[in-house]
Amino acid sequence: MKVKLALAQINTKLGVVESNLEKHLNYIQRAKNEGADLVIFPELSLTGYVLQDLVPTVAHRATSDDPVFKELLAASRDIDIVVGFAEEDVRNRFYISSAYLSLGKVAHVHRKVYLPTYGLFDEGRFFAWGDSVEAFDTRFGRAGILICEDFWHTSSPYLLWMDGADLFLFTSASPGRGLTSAPELSTAHWVESINQAYASIFTSFVIHSNRVGFEDGLHFWGGSTVFDPNGELLAKAPLDDEALTYCEIDLNQLHRTRARLPLLRDERTALVQRELMRILKRDDSRSGR
């Protein structure tokens, strides 16, 4: 089965949801016209990234009676959509979330589980921590969503892998940093490297949608990618510029790669569980929270 992906690498207006929504609908329509099956927007694509005190004023719920999601759900009747938003739950906690919309319904919402609160990041100050990493079924097989810092922890994609995901949908608003003599920023280099590594060691498709643009002095670098289960780069969006990048993936590649390289078959989950339990029980080790 072939699936045509569209990486919607957009810039956003900081805190102006209606204008970002309009851009989403425009990109979705374009992707639809090109026959894409799934369009993937970056982290916090409806709001912008450094929201700080704007969070409570831009948060939405992924429900059919929400004015923003109502329009996105209508658009998802012909094309599946991954969209990033600030989510307010029924008890008024705010999350960095990504929703998977399909056939006019919300198929899944992932709440970011790792909120970087160090260096230039301050997410833990403004957002609540999500507390699940779950795969879900789509028209194209089982998938999982992770948001930026989530996939800097190997346990997150590992859990998705164990939960049956063959399509890893990663979204980011990654501020570029690390200017050296190399032709790409250190951040771009590392993100691409780990995406390629995950595709190879999980023998899965790794699809990454990153945003572009500036917020004050922060620069978001784009460079969205698709890696296949062999770790081969199938598509790469331009650096720094808005783009709708298409990539057709052949799901049968999962069969071919895993026939050659049965890493999933050989994964010893019970051993992992045993050893993790032993490690977490040790009195001198409190590393697991």
Partner 1 sequence: MNGLDINTDLARSILTGFIKSETTRSGFQKAVIGVSGGIDSAMSCFLAAEALGPENVLAVRMPYKTSSQDSLDHAQLVIDATGVQAITIPITDMADGLINQFPDMAKLRMGNIMARCRMIVLYDQSSAFGGLVIGTSNKTEILLGYSTQFGDAASAFNPIGDLYKTQLRQLAHAMGVPQVIIDKAPTADLWIGQTDEGELGFTYAEVDKLLYLMVDERYTPDECVEAGYERKFVETVVKRIQRYHYKRVMPPIAKLGNRTIGYDFLYLRDWGT
Q: Which is nearer to partner 1, 78 or 240 (CB)?
A: 240
How many residues bind partner 1 (CB under 8 A)? The answer is: 23
Sign of the Cα pseudo-torsion (73, 11, 98, 35, in order): positive
Cβ atoms 225, 232 nearer than 8 A: no
- By CB under 8 A, the residues from 37 to 96 that bind partner 1 are 50, 52-54
Q: Which is nearer to partner 1, 137 or 241 (CB)?
A: 241
- By CB under 8 A, the residues from 4 to 43 that bind partner 1 are 13-16
DSSP 26-87: HHHHHHHHTT-SEEE--TTTTT-S--GGGHHHH-B--STTSHHHHHHHHHTTSSEEEEEEEE
Minimum distance of partner 1 from residue 181's CB (angstroms): 4
Part in contact with partner 1 (CB under 8 A); list of ranges 62-70, 174-182, 230-238, 265-273: 174-182
Q: Which is nearer to partner 1, 128 or 145 (CB)?
A: 128
Closest CA to 112 of 126, 125, 128, 100: 128
Minimum distance of partner 1 from residue 186's CB (angstroms): 11
242 is a site residue for partner 1 (CB under 8 A): no
Cβ-based neighbours of 144, under 8 Å, separated by 6 or more: 110, 133, 134, 135, 136, 157, 160, 163, 165, 167, 168, 169
- By CB under 8 A, the residues from 181 to 240 that bind partner 1 are 181-185, 213-217, 219, 240
Residues binding partner 1 (CB under 8 A): 13-16, 50, 52-54, 176, 179-185, 213-217, 219, 240
